[in-house]
Amino acid sequence: MNWFTSDYHFNHDAVISFCNRPFRTVLEMNEAIIERHNGRVGKHDTVYFIGDFCFYTSTVLVLSLIERLNGNFVFVKGNHDNNNKIHTIANSIEIESYGMKIQLVHRPQDITEGYDFYLVGHVHEKWKFRENMCNVGVDVWDFYPVDLKQILKAYKRYVKGEGL
């Protein structure tokens, strides 16, 4: 199974207040995200992580976080990933699914025209959908990764004006 997510911001104290996350401490946030991630993602699933995995931390800590998370990760570089020791080099990834060509890119303003749909992060709690675009950030998905079927079903409701 393929999963999509972004903006875990492990070890980033300030993101709790910036995004009004429902956690008292960064440790509580980290553990809740790990638990929810592993509640959906199987050990052999693929996780497309679309930027901002963790915030300024040691290589050992980054690797220990990845070891605790189920799935095989494909990382797209986020704006906070320069100093997280993952050394992500992909700024965007193209996949094909459900007959669509889909671009995965962290910041919505960095999309490349010509795709059928876009999966982005970066905007946290600001919005979930725009035209042909979905924010897969955990702040709008109750801190869970999501699959493409779930995304497209919710997007159809959004387009019809049925809310989320």
Domain map (residue ranges) of the chain:
2-159
Which residue do the tokens 């797209």 mark?
A: 76
Average pLDDT, the chain: 93
Q: Give me the mean pLDDT over the 52-74 stretch.
A: 86
User: How far is the CA of 91 from the CAs of 19, 21, 26, in angstroms?
Assistant: 24, 26, 27
What pLDDT, on the 0 to 100 scale, is given for residue 163?
65
pLDDT tens track for 71-116: 999 999 988 766 656 667 789 999 999 999 999 999 999 999 999 9
- DSSP label of 3: E
The larger pLDDT score, comparing residue 131 to residue 164, is at 131
* 18-29 mean pLDDT: 96
Q: Which residues pair with 73 in a beta bridge?
A: 47
Per-residue pLDDT band for 43 (boundaries 50, 70, 90) equals: very high
Tell me the mean pLDDT in the region 14-21: 96
Does residue 154 have a pLDDT over 90? yes
Confidence (pLDDT) at 84? 59
Ranked by mean pLDDT, the top range of 8-17, 88-97, 140-149 is: 140-149
Q: Which CATH architecture has domain 2-159?
A: 4-Layer Sandwich (3.60)
Distance CA 111, CA 72 (A): 24
